Amino acid sequence: MHKEPEPAWKPQPRAAEAASGGRMALIGLAACVLVAGAGVHFMGGGKGVGTTPAVESTQAADDANRTGLPLNLISPEKAAQTLAATDYSADEQASILAAVKRRDARLAVMPIYDASGTGGTVTLICGAWHHVVHLTPTPQTVVLPIAMSGHVDIIPVTDPGPTGIASGVLTVFGPQTLPIVYKGDTLALTVIAQ
């Protein structure tokens, strides 16, 4: 029996280049999908599932103008102690504490500060509760009673002048500068309790 030797393998340059180009395209596509999914998740996408088209369109118009902010939570065990240190009235504290015990609301911590150094006063509106905050470069902690996610509106109280009021918030991921607001504007935010 005579066995002929097998020919040596020689790589073909064009085939190797095509495989790496296809692989790079696949990796790029996967990265784009991950970034887009993260953007939809953190900006509050996917809301309005199972609603009627009329309700969905008004929710979409409202939610499209809101910025998502993931904030830290206060545990229910520390809710009474935390509320005692806030400027909520005794009736408001009792109402909020009852909602926390029923698990209808959670307490989120929103440290807000002056991001531009121009100062100013804003009103934070969260459901039926509101706070007036005098912005300083040092973050001032505001306790917000919200459901799993809730809406917070920031409205300037003092006339910010031509520069506007630039505020910032300390989120779960670090400091985040908010868009500048002018007299008569409302900055609408979606707070995500994490």
Q: What is the pLDDT of residues 130-151, one digit of tens each?
A: 888 899 899 988 888 887 667 8
Residues 6+ apart with CB under 8 A from 132: 121, 122, 123, 124, 157
Q: What is the pLDDT of residues 138-189, one digit of tens each?
A: 998 888 888 766 788 888 888 878 888 888 888 888 888 888 888 888 888 8
- Report which DSSP code applies to 117: S
Q: State whether the Cα torsion 144-150-156-161 is positive or negative.
A: positive
pTM more than 0.85: no
Block residue for tokens 């909020």? 96
Strand 187-193, strand 67-74: pairing: parallel
Residues 6+ apart with CB under 8 A from 30: none
Is the Cβ–Cβ distance between 183 and 156 less than 8 Å? yes
Buried b (16+ CB within 10 A) or exposed e, 53-90: eeeeeeeeeebeebbbbbbeebeeeebeebbeeeebee
Q: What is the pLDDT of residues 70-128, one digit of tens each?
A: 777 888 888 888 888 888 888 888 888 988 888 888 888 888 999 888 888 898 888 77
pLDDT at 52: 39
Separation between Cα atoms, residue 81 and residue 164, nearest integer Å: 36
Q: Is 8 helix (H, G, I), strand (E, B) or coil?
A: coil
- Binned at pLDDT 50, 70 and 90, residue 4 comes out as confident
